[in-house]
Amino acid sequence: MALITKIREKSGVAAAAIAISLILFLVGGDIFQGRSSFFGGSSDVVGEIGGENIKFQDFQKKVEELSQNYTQQAGRGPGEQELAQMREQVWNQYIMDLAYGKEYESLGLSVTPKELVDMVQGENIHPSVRQQFTNPQTGQFDKNYVIQFLKNFKTMPVAQQQAWANFEKSLSQDRLRSKYENLLRMSTYTTNAEAQKEYTAQTAKVDVRYLYVPFYSVADSTIKVSDSQLEEYLNSHKDLFKGQNTRSLQYVTFPVIPSKADTASFYNDIKRLAKELAVTKNDSAFAMMNSDVKTPYYATLAEIPEAVKGQLSSMVVGGIYGPFKNGLSYSIYKYGGVQKDSLYTVRASHILINADKNAPDSVKAAARKRAEGILAQIKGGASFEAMAQQFGSDGTAQQGGDLGYFKNNGGMVKPFENAVFGYSGTGLLPGLVETDFGYHVVKVTEAKTNTRYKLAAVNRTIAPSQSTMDDVLRKADAFASANDTKDKFEAALKKDKSLLMLRADRIQEGATGVNNLQNARDIVRWAFNNDTKIGAVSEVFQNDNQYIVALETGATSKDVVKVDDFRDELTARVRGDLKAEQITKKLGGISGTLEQMAQKYGAGALVETVNDLTLAQGVLTSAGADPTALGKAFGLKVGQKSKPFKGEAGVFVMETTKSTPAPAIADLTIYKNSAKMMAAQRTSFYINEAIKENAKVVDNRAKFY
Check whether residue 291 and residue 430 sit in a common domain: yes
Q: What one-character DSSP code corresponds to residue 153?
A: G
Q: Identify whether 196 is part of a domain.
A: no
Q: Is the pLDDT of residue 247 over 90?
A: yes
492 shares a domain with 431: no
47 and 151 together in one domain: yes
Kindly state whether residue 692 falls inside one of the protein's structural domains.
no
- Looking at the fold, whether 140 and 225 belong to one and the same domain comes out as no
Q: Which of 463, 487, 520 is the endpoint of a domain?
A: 463
Pair 345, 214 in one domain: no
Question: What pLDDT, on the 0 to 100 scale, is given for residue 401?
Answer: 93
Model confidence band, residue 137 (pLDDT cutoffs 50, 70, 90): low
Q: Using the predicted structure, report yes or no on whether residue 11 has a pLDDT greater than 60.
A: no
Determine the pLDDT at residue 300: 82
> Do 209 and 167 fall within a single domain?
no
Average pLDDT over residues 392-419: 90
Report which of 515, 521, 518 is spatially closest to residue 502, judged by C-alpha positions.
Answer: 515
**9-13, 287-291, 612-616: segment of lowest average pLDDT:** 9-13
Looking at the domain assignment, is residue 702 inside a domain?
A: no
- On average, the pLDDT of the chain sits at 87
Model pLDDT for residues 141-195, shown as the tens digit of each residue = 878 888 888 888 888 877 778 778 888 888 888 899 889 888 888 887 888 898 9
- Identity of the residue numbered 28: G
One DSSP character per residue, 462-498 reads: ----HHHHHHHHHHHHHHHHH--SHHHHHHHHHH-TT
Q: Residue 284's domain is classified under what CATH number?
A: 3.10.50.40
**DSSP SS3 for 225:** coil
Asked if residue 433 and residue 387 are part of one domain, the reply reads yes
Examine the domain organization and report whether 96 and 213 are in the same domain: no
685 found inside a domain: no
Q: What is the pLDDT of residue 607?
A: 95
pLDDT band at 79 (very low <50, low <70, confident <90, very high): confident
Residue 691 included in any domain:
no
Assigned domain for 498 exists? yes
Mark which of 463, 480, 511 sits at the end of a domain. Answer: 463
CA atoms within 13 A on the CB side of 101: 9
Band of residue 85 on the pLDDT scale cut at 50, 70, 90:
confident
In a domain, 403, yes or no: yes
- Chain segment 613-670, per-residue pLDDT in tens: 999 888 999 999 999 999 999 999 999 999 999 999 999 999 999 999 999 988 888 8
Evaluate if pTM is beyond 0.75.
no
What's the CATH code of the domain at 576? Answer: 3.10.50
683 vs 490, residue with greater confidence: 490
The pLDDT value given to residue 494: 92
Given this model, what pLDDT does residue 156 score? 83
CB atoms within 10 A of CB 326: 15
Percent of the chain scored above 90 by pLDDT? 52
How confident is the model over 415-438, as a mean pLDDT? 93
Contact of 389 with 397, CB cutoff 8 Å: yes
DSSP state of 414: H
Closest CA to 166 of 17, 278, 30: 17
- Per-residue pLDDT reduced to its tens digit, 457-467: 999 999 899 99
Q: Is residue 683 part of a domain?
A: no
Using CB atoms within 10 Å of the CB of residue 358, give its burial: 0 to 12 exposed, 13 to 18 middle, 19+ buried: exposed
Per the structure, the complete domain to which residue 308 belongs is given by 259-463
What does the alpha-carbon distance between residue 170 and residue 179 come to, in Å, rounded to a whole number? 14
- 318 and 338 belong to one structural domain: yes
Cα dihedral sign for 92, 98, 102, 103? negative
Residue 339 and residue 235 share a domain:
no
The Cα-based distances of 156 to 28, 70, 150, 402, 444 in angstroms read 12, 15, 10, 47, 51
Structure confidence by residue, pLDDT tens digits, 571-626: 999 999 999 999 999 999 999 999 999 999 999 999 999 999 999 888 999 999 99
CA dist., res. 40 & res. 57, Å (int) = 14
What are the two backbone dihedrals, phi and then psi, of residue 156, each rounded to the nearest 5 degrees?
A: -80, 160
Q: Give the burial string for 148-161 (b: 16+ CB within 10 Å, else e).
A: ebeeeeeebeebbe
Peptide bond into 323 cis (omega under 30): yes
Total tally of structural domains belonging to the chain = 4
The residue out of 534, 560, 586 marking a domain boundary is 560
Residues 529 and 606 in one domain: no
Residues 305, 426 within the same domain:
yes
